[in-house]
Amino acid sequence: MGYYLISTTTVSEFIASMEHMHVPQKIIIPMAVMFRFFPTIGEEARSISNAMRMRRVGFSSGGFFNGESGCGKTTLTRLINGLIPNYYEGFLTGEILINGRAIHKLPLYETSKVVGSVFQNPRSQFFNVDTTSELAFACENMGLSVEEIKQRIRKTVFYFNIEILMNRSIFHLSGGEKQKIACASVSTVSPDIFVLDEPSSNLDVTAIDDLRQLIEMWKSQGKTIIIAEHRLYFMRELADRILYMKNGKIERELNNKEIKKNQFRKIFRHGA
């Protein structure tokens, strides 16, 4: 199989270049799992040989994935929320099971009832221009009644303490406020599992603490929470497990006691 290295930074330019070379847009990479959109095509070319190799990993209460950029954290979240293979195409072997159901064989609208996702940049998941409509959007797509939607919004607004953010333009919110609306919009659906991809990356210290409190609330409700993140300090008291990833594999796993003893610091000083 041939490889193509195109110097570009946007997906649209990449597709245009492929068309010019008569290369099909749908490229199947013959490895166990290899799905990602990278900031640059060069980064993707370097990662082709480091496809994700996951033997078996399971969750009940949740997990916290950590590792260097490109290690496979985001890929793993996309396997859990069904974006792979429904949106990011490729060649997948094995199964992704949630409550005994093969998520990779379900349409996204079915998976979204069980798994809620908060992306690294919350702006990329908004479908409306005002906050109240955004909270209602997912429930509307599920076909819930107007009264049920209103009740869910009232409940979510109360628990998230975001009355002041209702009926506001999303364009006028800060980064932390956008993150709250993204989390709240997912919470209105009341999924059993929450998947967050680097949720603190664009937040300041105050907003990170607000995020920690939201995660703590979900945990108190018995939700399964899976987070891919670089920062560890704000999750020290909440994380039940930290799984350190490297080159598409889980290299090390820490339990709650090891986390509270700051054992994760050794990982970054000496590697897994």
Whether residue 236 lies inside any domain: the answer is yes
Residue 259 belongs to domain spanning: 55-88+95-270
pLDDT higher than 80, residue 211: yes
Highest mean pLDDT among 26-30, 78-82, 265-269: 78-82
Whether residue 41 lies inside any domain: the answer is no
Whether residue 233 lies inside any domain: the answer is yes
pLDDT over 90 percentage in the chain:
28
Whether residue 136 lies inside any domain: the answer is yes
Whether residue 80 lies inside any domain: the answer is yes
pLDDT higher than 80, residue 267: no
The count of structural domains within the chain is 1
Which three-class secondary structure string do you get for the chain? CCCCCCCCCCHHHHHHHHHHCCCCCCCCCCCCECCCCCCCHHHHHHHHHHCECCCCCCCCCEEEEEECCCCCHHHHHHHHCCHHHHCCCCCCCCCCEECCEEHHHCCHHHHCCCEEEECCCHHHHCCCCEHHHHHHHHHHHCCCCHHHHHHHHHHHHHHHCCHHHCCCEHHHCCHHHHHHHHHHHHHCCCCCEEEEECCCCCCCHHHHHHHHHHHHHHHHCCCEEEEECCCCHHHCCCCCEEEEEECCEEEEEEEHHHHHCCCHHHHHHHCC
pLDDT band at 184 (very low <50, low <70, confident <90, very high): very high
pLDDT higher than 90, residue 156: yes
Whether residue 39 lies inside any domain: the answer is no
Whether residue 7 lies inside any domain: the answer is no
pLDDT higher than 90, residue 132: yes
Whether residue 216 lies inside any domain: the answer is yes
For 17-73, the pLDDT digits (tens) are 545 544 443 433 333 333 334 444 444 444 434 445 555 555 555 566 777 777 888
CATH assignment at residue 194:
3.40.50.300
